[in-house]
Amino acid sequence: MSERPINCTIKQPVLLTITDTKSEFHSGCRVLDISLSNVVNPERKEENVDQVGEIQFKNYYVAYLTVKAKFKSGPDTKEGENKWRTCVKRMRLMPNAHAETGSQDYFCVSRKHMAFELVNISALRLILQQPSPVWKDFKIEELRFFKCSETSKPCLLPSWLTEVTNNSGKKKIEAEDGNNFHVAPKEDDGILGISNLELLSATLQQLWALSEEVAANQTNVVLGRYEVDNCYDINLLSYT
């Protein structure tokens, strides 16, 4: 359950205004751009490197949230295809835009809120909306992105651990088929599985316990020998 935060650059939110400097028109809409870093993790090439699993933030008087995503242009994407797509549409953060409820809550936008998986994306755009003029300012704080938690993908056991059952099954079939039971297993020679890891573990723990028990039961009583190590050394004795 290790959630890994994603490195990304969050730009300053831009308040949408109508291009008229004189009239102070409050559009109630802000745009926040996030560019995801393009650092490829060399260890996990086979996985979707830039998969965003979760978006966490603290609300500050935002009523609706929309998330748009821009996909990376791969070799087979045509020109103009990598445009913005809406991933979360007008998610309601405050039940009533004029009331306090939900205005300063923590939110977590996870996969179930999203229309599609955020895989292979280059940028995200958050659109914050606050239709109510009651509030002076609206923004989101402590914005963080996380990769998918790994719980959905249980770690697969390596083949040499799990193969033993398959192998015995294979062997049996071979034996039934054409009694070539003793033919050496082809390529799995030497990497056959441990049949019972639990038994192994239990045995080892017992051994540990036994050793510790003995260590605890060692006596300090001495037999009362007068010998000191090396005191009967011939060189020492010859001096006296």
Partner 1 sequence: MAEKRKPNAADDIQKETERQFLERSGVAALYKDVLEKIIANRPEDPVAFLADYFDSVEENTSLIQRAEQIMKMTHHSRPLFQTNVRMAYDLLKKNKASKKLSGVNGTMFTQLLKALCRDIPSVVMQKLMQKFECHSHEAIPFDVFRSGVFTCCVLQDYVKLSEQLFGSLDLQKTGKANKALCDAVLEQLNTALGSNRNDTKRILESGYNLGVDGLYMALDTAMGRSHKNSSLQTCDQFLVEMCETFLSKVSVIK
Q: Which residues bind partner 1 (CB under 8 A)?
A: 157-158, 160-161, 164, 189-201, 203-208, 210-223, 225
- Which is nearer to partner 1, 78 or 186 (by Cβ)? 186
Supply the minimum distance, in Å, between the C-beta of residue 189 and partner 1.
Answer: 6
Instruction: Compute the distance between CA of residue 136 and CA of residue 128 in angstroms, rounded to an integer.
Output: 14
- Which is nearer to partner 1, 40 or 210 (by Cβ)? 210
Supply the minimum distance, in Å, between the C-beta of residue 226 and partner 1.
Answer: 11
Nearest by Cα to 108 from 54, 50, 148, 31: 54
Instruction: Compute the distance between CA of residue 75 and CA of residue 175 in angstroms, rounded to an integer.
Output: 51
Instruction: Compute the distance between CA of residue 133 and CA of residue 136 in angstroms, rounded to an integer.
Output: 7
Supply the minimum distance, in Å, between the C-beta of residue 4 and partner 1.
Answer: 20
Supply the minimum distance, in Å, between the C-beta of residue 165 and partner 1.
Answer: 13
- Which is nearer to partner 1, 18 or 214 (by Cβ)? 214
SS3 (DSSP) at 129? strand
Supply the minimum distance, in Å, between the C-beta of residue 191 and partner 1.
Answer: 7
CB neighbours of residue 129 within 10 Å: 20
- Which is nearer to partner 1, 115 or 194 (by Cβ)? 194
Residue 15, CA distances (Å) to 123, 205, 233 in order: 19, 64, 93
Nearest by Cα to 119 from 39, 53, 68: 53
- Which is nearer to partner 1, 39 or 223 (by Cβ)? 223
Given a contact cutoff of 8 angstroms between Cβ atoms, the answer to whether 82 and 165 are in contact is no
Residue 60: what are its φ and ψ, rounded to 5°?
A: -140, 85
Supply the minimum distance, in Å, between the C-beta of residue 153 and partner 1.
Answer: 17
- Which is nearer to partner 1, 99 or 202 (by Cβ)? 202
Nearest by Cα to 126 from 87, 100, 165: 87
Supply the minimum distance, in Å, between the C-beta of residue 218 and partner 1.
Answer: 5
Nearest by Cα to 34 from 77, 81, 76, 84: 84
- Which is nearer to partner 1, 117 or 174 (by Cβ)? 174
Instruction: Compute the distance between CA of residue 168 and CA of residue 181 in angstroms, rounded to an integer.
Output: 10
